[in-house]
Every structure is written in structure tokens, then in C-alpha cells.
């Protein structure tokens, strides 16, 4: 039996009274979501580490500001994880930070980043020993550059060199410089359309990434090249000809100048095997840069010393003499740096441009779609250090 109160069962009245009573338990304060986590992402060395992102709890990302700072707004109280990421390999110190947000903003959540050296950007894979060779040519030599490359003379290179077996690729350039100036784009194509100053900036940044002492200070005609720094640099004209020749004494590395019973013009068929040039790319002004390392290498393992793109070298171009020289490097500059080896634009009508001896210059501030570069690094060991 139920008893009724004003028409309602007593049980329902009791439930209503209980539901209407206020609880004596304390209530939690509202969560403050107006707090911030702030910090900075600074560079350990001079290389550009643009496009770096900072992540909060692996779900929210922001890019760093121009002043290298960042901030996450409207963060709830509690423990959060902050980390730095990039679309290219970097070293981050520390790799991740745990942050406890309480009743106030959290500041100085800082990171230090640097590019990570890896096999992809390791430019040096061949080592050459010091030695003596005959630089230039005589006017009677096949395909002689009669004005600039004569007379033949003795040159001694006193230090061993580490030499890039490939012309510097766009992939290697982009990992350090972040912007690709090349007109024909491809990861394994040589980087082109470069000014001299951009090339030496690349060399210095690569030196820092790999822990070497940068070689260059200044720019353009006022550049200073340290003789003692162990970083990456352009080869001198003499060094380039020495490593490109790889012991060869003919116009083309590893090829004979003549073959008994064969017309001399047929040597160009052999050049097609070691070089990308107008002869196998459709003629003058029709070719483009080709992937590095796709023609036959020379005796010391270097690819594309003939053709593909001409390579920038250090030193002002001056007339040769018969006087023997040691480690020649003509500075200061008068005009611009030299280029060697010829490019995809050369044709057999002017074959001296693609030989080991052909010499040309470019202007410091101009960029060319047929010009790239190869780097070297002084190993530091002289003739005496390699004996035994």
C-alpha cells in the first residue's frame, strides 16, 4: 500500500526531496586553458634550418617565428610533451621535453638544432695522392687550346686530396641551401645556375655540418682562401686538371689521342662513352644536364670530368709559362673564376672546350645553366706522410 500526499505517492516525494538536496562535496575548479608554452629553437651552427616545426603532444604543430621563437596558446594544465621536427635530418638537443603546466605560463622550453651529416650529403668518396704531372698542352697536341693552355709545363701537387666523385647534385645542394636555382630540376642532376658566392657559401656550410674548418672568408674578387683550413672548397685549376687526368697524358682522360688505322674523328665516338655533350645530346644548344655518374668514370673513380656541366675552379686565369710550379693558385682575382671540363653544350666543331686542357672564365655575379661544380678537401698528408 502506498500513502498519498496531495495525490502523490510518498515514495515519489522522498525521491524528489533527495534529488533536490545540494551536495556537501567540494567541486573541481574549471580547467584553465588560457596558459602558454613558450621557447626558442636556435641554430648550433650557421646552416639554415628553416621549415622546422615544433610539436605539442604529437598532435599540434607550429612553425618557428623569424626570431627563432615559438609559443603554444590555450594549453590545459597537466603534463605535455614538446619536440622539434623537420623535413630533413637534424640533430636536436634535447630530443624531447616534458613540460608540466600548472597555474602560469611555461617559458624557456628551448631547443638547439643542427643539420645531421649523412651518407646522402657526404660529398667525398675518392682520395688522390700528391704527385707531379704535365699541365696544359703544346700547340702541336691534338685539340690544343693554343692560346690559354700552352705551353705544357710541370706542376707538383704536394697534398693529398679528397675529391667528390660526382658533380654536386641538386639533392646535396637542397639539404644545405634549401632553395634550388637550377633551371632543369632533378635530385640527381648537377646543381646549376649558381653564382660564385653561392658556391663558396655552400662549401662553408657543408664544412660546418661535417665539423671541418671553413675555407672561405669574403666574397667575389675579394675572397680569401685559407691555406690551412680543412673544409670543403673548389679545386684550383691545377688540382682539377690533376685529378681529372688521373694519370692520362692525352686530351681526354683514359682515351688515346689516335688509333692506328682509324680516322681521328672517330675518337668522338669514344668521348660519347665518358661525356654528356652536344655530340650525343642532339647538338649545340639542344642538350640539358644529365644525371651524374651515368657515363664511364676515369681511372681515379671520378665521373663527368668531361661534359655534363662545366666545373668552377679557383684561381685567376693567366698565361702559362714553361717554369715548373708547385701548388699553383693565382690570386687575387682579376675577372672571375675559371671553368673546366666543358658541358652538354660543346660540339666537335670546338672540341678543345671539352678536353682536359680547355680553359674559360665566368663572371662572379652571373649564373649559367651549363655550369656546376665539384668539391675537394685537403687531406693534410703530404708526400712524406704517404710514404710506406
| pLDDT for 16 | 37
| pLDDT for 90 | 67
| pLDDT for 382 | 42
pLDDT single digits (tens) 229-246: 999 999 999 999 999 999
Q: How many CB atoms lie within 10 A of CB 360?
A: 15
Mean pLDDT, residues 257-262: 70
Closest C-alpha among 347, 178, 339, 209 to residue 278: 347
| pLDDT for 114 | 73
| pLDDT for 67 | 84
Percent of the chain topping pLDDT 90 = 59
- The more confidently predicted of residues 42 and 196 is 196
- The more confidently predicted of residues 172 and 18 is 172
| pLDDT for 324 | 97
Residue 378's H or E segment, with its range, is strand 376-382
Q: Which three cell numbers stand for residue 9?
A: 505517492
Rounded to whole angstroms, how far apart are CA atoms 307 and 287?
11
| pLDDT for 178 | 86
Q: Which three cell numbers stand for residue 365?
A: 655575379
Domains and CATH numbers, the chain: 35-116 (2.60.40.1120), 120-386 (3.90.1580.10)
49 has pLDDT over 90 = no
Give the residue ranges of DSSP H helices in the chain. 10-20, 170-177, 196-209, 237-245, 267-274
For Cα atoms 39, 207, 387, give the angle at the middle one, nearest 5 degrees.
145
Using the 8-state DSSP alphabet, how is residue 228 labeled? S
Phi-psi region of 121 (alpha: psi -120 to 50; beta: other; left: phi over 0): alpha
262 has pLDDT over 70 = no
pLDDT single digits (tens) 143-177: 888 889 999 999 999 999 999 999 999 999 998 88
The torsion angle over the Cα atoms of residues 268, 250, 308 and 262, rounded to 10 degrees, is: 10
Burial of 13 (0-12, 13-18, 19+ CB in 10 A): middle
| pLDDT for 8 | 43
The torsion angle over the Cα atoms of residues 234, 296, 252 and 261, rounded to 10 degrees, is: 180
- Pick from 102-111, 257-266, 316-325, 358-367: least confident: 257-266
Percent of the chain topping pLDDT 70 = 82
Cell 502523490 appears where?
Answer: 8
Amino acid at each position: 500500500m502506498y500513502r498519498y500526499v496531495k495525490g502523490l505517492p510518498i515514495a515519489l516525494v522522498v525521491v524528489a526531496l533527495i534529488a533536490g538536496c545540494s551536495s556537501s562535496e567540494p567541486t573541481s575548479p574549471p580547467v584553465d586553458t588560457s596558459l602558454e608554452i613558450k621557447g626558442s629553437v636556435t641554430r648550433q651552427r650557421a646552416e639554415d634550418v628553416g621549415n622546422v616545426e615544433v610539436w605539442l603532444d604529437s598532435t599540434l604543430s607550429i612553425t618557428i617565428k623569424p626570431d627563432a621563437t615559438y609559443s603554444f596558446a590555450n594549453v590545459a594544465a597537466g603534463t605535455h610533451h614538446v619536440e622539434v621536427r623537420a623535413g630533413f635530418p637534424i640533430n636536436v638537443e634535447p630530443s624531447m621535453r616534458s613540460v608540466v603546466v600548472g597555474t602560469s605560463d611555461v617559458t624557456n622550453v628551448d631547443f638547439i638544432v643542427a643539420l645531421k651529416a649523412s651518407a646522402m650529403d657526404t660529398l667525398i668518396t675518392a682520395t688522390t695522392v700528391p704527385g707531379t704531372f704535365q699541365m696544359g698542352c703544346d700547340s702541336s697536341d691534338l685539340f690544343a687550346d693554343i692560346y690559354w693552355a700552352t705551353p705544357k709545363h710541370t706542376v707538383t701537387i704536394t697534398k693529398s686530396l679528397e675529391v667528390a666523385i660526382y658533380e654536386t647534385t641538386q639533392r646535396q645542394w637542397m639539404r644545405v641551401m634549401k632553395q634550388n636555382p637550377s633551371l632543369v630540376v632533378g635530385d640527381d642532376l648537377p646543381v646549376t645556375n649558381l653564382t660564385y658566392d653561392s658556391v663558396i657559401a655552400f662549401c662553408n656550410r657543408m664544412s660546418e655540418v661535417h665539423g671541418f674548418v671553413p675555407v672561405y672568408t669574403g666574397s667575389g674578387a675579394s675572397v680569401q682562401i685559407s691555406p690551412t683550413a680543412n673544409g670543403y672548397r673548389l679545386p684550383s685549376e691545377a688540382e682539377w686538371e690533376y685529378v681529372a687526368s688521373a694519370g692520362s697524358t692525352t686530351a681526354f682522360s683514359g682515351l688515346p689521342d689516335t688509333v692506328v688505322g682509324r680516322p681521328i674523328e672517330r675518337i668522338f665516338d669514344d668521348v660519347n662513352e665518358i661525356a654528356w655533350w652536344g655530340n650525343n645530346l642532339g647538338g649545340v644548344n639542344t642538350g640539358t644536364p644529365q644525371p651524374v655518374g651515368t657515363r664511364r668514370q676515369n681511372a681515379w673513380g671520378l665521373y663527368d670530368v668531361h661534359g655534363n656541366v662545366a666545373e668552377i675552379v679557383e684561381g685567376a686565369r693567366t698565361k702559362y709559362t714553361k717554369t715548373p710550379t708547385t701548388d699553383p693558385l693565382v690570386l687575387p682575382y682579376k675577372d672571375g673564376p675559371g671553368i673546366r671540363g666543358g658541358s652538354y653544350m660543346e660540339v666537335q666543331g670546338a672540341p678543345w672546350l671539352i678536353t682536359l686542357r680547355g680553359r674559360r672564365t665566368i663572371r662572379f655575379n652571373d649564373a649559367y645553366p651549363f655550369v656546376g661544380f665539384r668539391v675537394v678537401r685537403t687531406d693534410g698528408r703530404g708526400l712524406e706522410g704517404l710514404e710506406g
